[in-house]
Amino acid sequence: MPVKESEAIEVSVVMPCLNEAETLETCIGKAARAMREANMAGEVIVADNGSSDGSVEIAERMGARVVNVRAKGYGNALMGGIAGARGKYIVMGDADDSYDFGHIPRFVEQLRAGADVVMGNRFRGGDSETCHACAASLFRKSCADKDWKVVLPQSGGRFLLRAEGIP
């Protein structure tokens, strides 16, 4: 998973984290494996929000880059991790093993094809048209002034963005 300094990073996987020692190693491993098997230059960023259970040590041992986020809260951890990301594309997924990081290549393919936002559905295996319709509407409204192309594939359960679209 470690990327050479001279190598451009295509994908940054950002995992907000607060005391996720039970599942963090599994999540980092799945994300790293998906990128490695797809020959993607990538990094895993653990945006730690003050863990006291050994999560930071696990992340470092697994080769993830830890970004310490002092401002409390999930949103702050996510924003801190995104701010520290070096990839062209940013994948966001929780560190509780509720996302299938194995779908990263499929989602990145959509970004490479021109999508600005890609979102999956982790709750019903990707088959919820209602969830997708609501998410598409939400993203289209919030991104209307940016003219982003929104793609909602039928699997996964995370958001992926083009880094250059983030203010």
Q: Examine the pLDDT at 66 and tell me if it is beyond 80.
A: yes
Surface-to-core class of residue 141, CB atoms within 10 Å of its CB (0-12 exposed, 13-18 middle, 19+ buried)? exposed
pLDDT at 28: 98
Element (H, E) at 159: strand 159-162
Contact 123, 88 (CB under 8 A): no
Q: pLDDT tens digits, residue range 2-29?
A: 555 557 999 999 999 999 999 999 999 9
Q: Which amino acid is at 118?
A: V
pTM for this structure? 0.76
What is the band of 83 on the pLDDT scale with cuts at 50, 70, 90?
A: very high
What's the whole-number average pLDDT of the chain? 79
Per-position DSSP letters for 44-84, written without gaps between them: EEEEESS--SSHHHHHHHTTPEEEE--S-SHHHHHHHHHHH
pLDDT at residue 155 in the model = 43
Phi, psi dihedrals of residue 150, rounded to the nearest 5°? -105, 130
Q: What residue ranges define each of the domains in the chain, with the CATH number in brackets?
A: 11-165 (3.90.550.10)
